[in-house]
């Protein structure tokens, strides 16, 4: 296996870039001072200053360009460290979280698996589900089929567990990753491109790194839910997967509901098709006894199980034990399996809500989460990926963000206004002009950011969608900084035009050191322009709300560092008082600017709580739902214990207003025209 071709910009390069920018800022100030004949000591002699500037400025610019370009170059990394950290994350998520949670809820049924192929020694026979790993090792490409609730995802997780063991023993083995196919139908990109994007989104891996690992076969895709793709696009996806296999990527596992796969005209080019069978009577009897049911109760239940197809799968069997015989009898009285399943899920939800205090808004919140996940083809609910679209009120959100951006620019100049009130004279008018100018500038910056190509590319890579209403309409946590000269050049027209609008105001206000301020702003804008946001490979176990936490932790260091460096440069050029005032102004400005995604996030959650769509204390609510066995914590988010439960909580009609619960709760309904996903 070749070495990885991606590494983030090292800290040494970032430190060099900051140092270069600081010196460039100071030199630009000296140039402005030299042009106005106000040269600070000891550089107040022309024969010292000008040769120094003529030599130093080109060197600094060349150095900044070189460092910036290096940030975009995919260089060789330490592959073992990256692979070891990522493998630990995958093991924690798939084995210690997902599989352990499934095993903890009920006894495990090990179903029989039939093999269908012309080459396998197991073909035409039946094997134990624990033998899937051995079959996969021989075949290298498998398709796992079965009815809804048969345990296909569990079989895929068990396969991932065994493959993780192999990857831990052998450094040449790829890292298995479990990915949901549901998001492919959103844009239907080329399959390798979708793999890289989904890997980056699901495991918070940088897109460049995900693309390199896919190309080098350093990850082994385990694809769950071919049936979640709509019928009209499923054949196209099968062709895309086949092209991927033909191109040389020969290790792959896919799951699908058997009836949905058989409706598809296209067939996967896999070596083995494994069909998970429903448990037989000895397995059901052993399961019921392991679940604590007494022998007479088992003998009364088995005739019902034999006669009712609804209870054939392990999922429905587990659900029937949880809700009790009364609810099962009520469910079996409904007409059709879909209606019976709905009654059974209603009873399960009623029991879970009773354990949570019986509050009706809990159901409304779960419906909001289910609708958001379904509309955005998500399998995991991540709080830091919540977007304003969940509100369904674009005008309200745009107005709030316009006010927020104005305050970001206005609030930092309150010290100048306070100084103006204390000193008097033209300081009051100067402070008002500065504050209003900065507020208008930042408001335009936020509302017009949709024209920024760099930001749009970031949204495409991180959120798989570009902003249609501007930067304010998408919450983008700052997971890591990366500076690039290419990025700076791409953003130059937007930032340059906004800056050009403000320079006349600065000069017309006749501010002290106005030219110095303008000269210092240019290299500062160059630095800001080149900063791009990208996910970083996590070196620890992910936490709830990971992106917002990491963004919040960058607020104080970034704002203080820039304020101290900028204030020091300003102090050298215009005196200690000006430097102190600059620092006092820049700390809140940068804190609000860097922390803008945090402000957006908590404002959105406050509005959702106000509308009774989601509680503000979201983590406590989600953890309580996980305790009630409605959700399961996975990675840094929560997923429903089964996709069928998510489907049950998602209204079948057009999107409802946030907070609107299902109206058919605890009431049998007619069968849905759309079959359950899995």
> Are residue 163 and residue 189 in the same domain, yes or no?
yes
Q: What is the pLDDT of residues 516-573, one digit of tens each?
A: 555 555 555 555 555 555 555 555 677 888 888 888 887 887 777 777 766 766 676 6
CA distance 12 to 434: 36
Of the candidates 72, 91, 106, which is a domain's last residue?
A: 72
For residue 61, the model assigns a pLDDT of: 59
> Are residue 240 and residue 308 in the same domain, yes or no?
no
For residue 572, the model assigns a pLDDT of: 64
> Are residue 93 and residue 230 in the same domain, yes or no?
yes
From residue 32, give the alpha-carbon distance in Å to each of 156, 328, 436, 515, 658.
66, 83, 26, 6, 55
Q: What is the pLDDT of residues 273-301, one digit of tens each?
A: 999 988 888 888 888 888 888 888 888 88
> Are residue 264 and residue 311 in the same domain, yes or no?
no
Report which DSSP code applies to 370.
H
Mean pLDDT across the chain, nearest whole number? 74
> Are residue 62 and residue 97 in the same domain, yes or no?
no
User: Is position 100 within any domain?
Assistant: yes
List, in sequence order, every residue forming a beta bridge with 220; answer none if it has no partner.
Answer: 176
For residue 42, the model assigns a pLDDT of: 56
Q: Where are the alpha helices (DSSP H) in 73-147?
A: 79-91, 100-105, 132-139
CA distance 366 to 361: 9
Q: Where are the alpha helices (DSSP H) in 108-151?
A: 132-139
> Are residue 244 and residue 120 in the same domain, yes or no?
yes
Q: What is the pLDDT of residues 375-413, one digit of tens each?
A: 888 889 999 888 888 888 888 888 888 888 888 778 777
How many C-beta neighbours within 10 Å does residue 115 have? 21
Determine which of 163-172, 179-188, 243-252, 463-472 has the lowest per-residue pLDDT on average: 463-472
Q: Where are the alpha helices (DSSP H) in 92-216?
A: 100-105, 132-139, 152-169, 184-187, 191-203, 207-215
User: Is position 162 within any domain?
Assistant: yes
Q: Specify the length of the chain in residues.
A: 678
For residue 71, the model assigns a pLDDT of: 44
Is the pLDDT at 508 greater than 80? The verdict is: no
Average pLDDT over residues 339-356: 89
Average pLDDT over residues 301-323: 87
Percent of the chain with pLDDT over 90: 20
CATH code for the domain of 238: 3.40.50.300
Q: Which helix (H) or strand (E) holds 499?
A: helix 485-508
Q: Which two tokens stand for residue 167?
A: 């990857």
> Are residue 195 and residue 54 in the same domain, yes or no?
no
User: Is position 32 within any domain?
Assistant: yes
Structural domain boundaries enclosing 66: 11-72
Q: Residue 113 burial by CB count (10 A; 0-12/13-18/19+): exposed, middle or buried? A: buried
User: Is position 132 within any domain?
Assistant: yes
Determine which of 392-406, 430-444, 659-673 has the lowest per-residue pLDDT on average: 659-673
Average pLDDT over residues 30-42: 54
Is the pLDDT at 207 greater than 50? The verdict is: yes
> Are residue 100 and residue 249 in the same domain, yes or no?
yes
* Tally of structural domains, the chain: 3
84 Cβ partners below 8 Å, 6+ apart? none
User: Is position 485 within any domain?
Assistant: no
Q: What is the pLDDT of residues 253-265, one digit of tens each?
A: 999 999 999 999 8
Is the pLDDT at 96 greater than 70? The verdict is: yes
497 within 8 A of 448, measured Cβ to Cβ:
no
Is the pLDDT at 455 greater than 80? The verdict is: no
CA distance 238 to 244: 10
338 Cβ partners below 8 Å, 6+ apart? 671, 672, 675, 676
Average pLDDT over residues 645-664: 56
- Least Cα distance to 545 among 620, 608, 641, 612 occurs for 620
Is the pLDDT at 638 greater than 90? The verdict is: yes
Percent of the chain with pLDDT over 70: 64
List, in sequence order, every residue forming a beta bridge with 633; answer none if it has no partner.
Answer: 638
Is the pLDDT at 80 greater than 60? The verdict is: yes
User: Is position 569 within any domain?
Assistant: no
Is the pLDDT at 591 greater than 70? The verdict is: yes
Is the pLDDT at 195 greater than 90? The verdict is: yes
Is the pLDDT at 464 greater than 50? The verdict is: no
For residue 671, the model assigns a pLDDT of: 35
> Are residue 28 and residue 105 in the same domain, yes or no?
no
User: Is position 117 within any domain?
Assistant: yes
**Can you spell out the DSSP letters for 416-442?**
HHHHHHHH-TTHHHHHHHHHHHHHHHH
Average pLDDT over residues 235-262: 91
Residue for token pair 């630990």: 88
Is the pLDDT at 414 greater than 70? The verdict is: yes
Of the candidates 241, 276, 311, which is a domain's last residue?
A: 276
Q: What is the sign of the dihedral through the CA atoms of 560, 565, 566 and 569?
A: positive
Q: What is the sign of the dihedral through the CA atoms of 434, 437, 440 and 442?
A: negative
Q: Residue 526 burial by CB count (10 A; 0-12/13-18/19+): exposed, middle or buried? A: buried
User: Is position 477 within any domain?
Assistant: no
How many C-beta neighbours within 10 Å does residue 149 have? 23
Q: Which two tokens stand for residue 396?
A: 């309200």
> Are residue 265 and residue 307 in the same domain, yes or no?
no
Q: What is the pLDDT of residues 353-363, one digit of tens each?
A: 888 876 778 88
For residue 655, the model assigns a pLDDT of: 37
Is the pLDDT at 122 greater than 80? The verdict is: no
For residue 368, the model assigns a pLDDT of: 93
CA distance 98 to 222: 15
> Are residue 192 and residue 105 in the same domain, yes or no?
yes
Of the candidates 47, 72, 97, which is a domain's last residue?
A: 72
> Are residue 67 and residue 85 in the same domain, yes or no?
no
For residue 523, the model assigns a pLDDT of: 55
């Amino acid at each position: 296996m070749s070495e990885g071709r991606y590494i983030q910009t090292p800290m040494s390069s970032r430190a060099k870039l900051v140092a270069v920018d600081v010196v460039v800022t100071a030199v630009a100030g000296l140039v402005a001072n030299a042009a106005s004949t106000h040269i600070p000591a000891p550089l107040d002699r022309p024969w010292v200053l000008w040769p120094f500037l003529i030599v130093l400025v080109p060197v600094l610019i060349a150095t900044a360009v070189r460092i910036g370009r290096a940030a975009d170059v995919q260089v060789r990394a330490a592959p073992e460290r990256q692979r070891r950290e990522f493998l630990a994350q995958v093991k924690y998520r798939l084995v210690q979280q997902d599989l352990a949670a499934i095993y903890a809820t009920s006894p495990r049924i090990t179903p029989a698996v039939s093999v269908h192929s012309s080459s396998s020694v197991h073909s035409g026979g039946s094997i134990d589900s624990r033998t899937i790993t051995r079959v996969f090792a021989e075949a290298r490409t498998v398709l796992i089929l079965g009815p809804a609730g048969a345990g296909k995802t569990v079989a895929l997780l068990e396969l991932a567990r065994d493959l993780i063991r192999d990857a831990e023993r052998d450094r040449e083995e790829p890292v298995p990753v479990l990915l949901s196919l549901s998001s492919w139908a959103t844009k239907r990109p080329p399959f390798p491109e979708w793999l890289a994007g989904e890997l980056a989104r699901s495991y918070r891996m940088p897109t460049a790194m995900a693309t390199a690992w896919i190309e080098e076969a350093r990850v082994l895709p385990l694809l769950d839910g071919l049936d979640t793709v709509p019928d009209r696009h499923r054949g196209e996806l099968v062709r895309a997967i086949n092209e991927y296999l033909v191109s040389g990527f020969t290790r792959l596992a896919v799951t699908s509901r058997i009836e949905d796969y058989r409706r598809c005209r296209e067939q996967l080019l896999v070596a083995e098709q494994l069909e998970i069978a429903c448990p037989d009577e000895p397995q059901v009897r052993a399961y019921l006894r392991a679940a604590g049911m007494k022998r007479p109760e088992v003998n009364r239940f088995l005739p019902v199980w034999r006669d009712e197809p609804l209870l054939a799968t392990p999922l429905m069997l587990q659900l029937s034990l949880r809700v009790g015989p009364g609810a099962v009898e009520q469910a079996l009285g409904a007409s059709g399996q879909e209606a019976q399943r709905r009654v059974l899920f209603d009873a399960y939800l009623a029991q879970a809500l009773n354990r949570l205090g019986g509050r009706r808004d809990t159901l409304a919140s779960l419906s909001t989460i289910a609708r958001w996940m379904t509309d955005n083809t998500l399998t995991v609910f991540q709080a830091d990926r919540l977007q304003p679209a969940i509100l369904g009120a674009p005008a309200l959100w745009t107005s709030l963000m316009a006010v927020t951006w104005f305050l970001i620019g206005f609030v930092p100049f309150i010290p100048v206004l306070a100084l103006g009130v204390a000193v008097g004279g033209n300081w009051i008018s100067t402070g008002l002009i500065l504050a209003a100018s900065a507020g208008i500038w930042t408001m335009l910056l936020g509302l017009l950011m949709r024209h920024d190509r760099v930001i749009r590319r970031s949204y495409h890579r991180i959120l798989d969608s570009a902003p249609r209403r501007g930067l304010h309409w998408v919450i983008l946590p700052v997971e890591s900084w990366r500076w690039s000269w290419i990025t700076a050049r791409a953003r130059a027209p937007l930032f340059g035009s906004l800056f050009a609008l403000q320079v006349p105001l600065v000069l017309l206000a006749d501010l002290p050191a106005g030219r110095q301020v303008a000269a210092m702003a240019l290299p500062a804008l160059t630095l800001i322009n080149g900063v791009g946001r990208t996910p970083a490979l996590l070196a620890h176990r992910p936490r709830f709300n990971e992106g917002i936490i990491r963004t919040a932790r960058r607020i104080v260091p970034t704002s203080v560092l820039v304020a101290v460096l900028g204030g020091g440069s300003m102090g050298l050029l215009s005196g200690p008082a000006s430097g102190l005032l600059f620092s006092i102004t820049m700390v809140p400005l940068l804190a609000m600017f860097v922390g803008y995604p945090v402000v957006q996030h908590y404002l959105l959650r406050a509005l959702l709580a106000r509308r009774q769509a989601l509680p503000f204390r979201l983590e406590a609510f989600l953890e309580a739902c996980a305790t009630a066995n409605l959700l399961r914590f996975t990675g840094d988010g929560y997923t429903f214990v089964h996709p069928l439960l998510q489907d049950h909580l998602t209204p079948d009609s057009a999107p409802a207003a946030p907070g609107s619960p299902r109206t058919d709760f605890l009431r049998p309904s007619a069968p849905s025209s759309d079959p359950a996903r899995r």
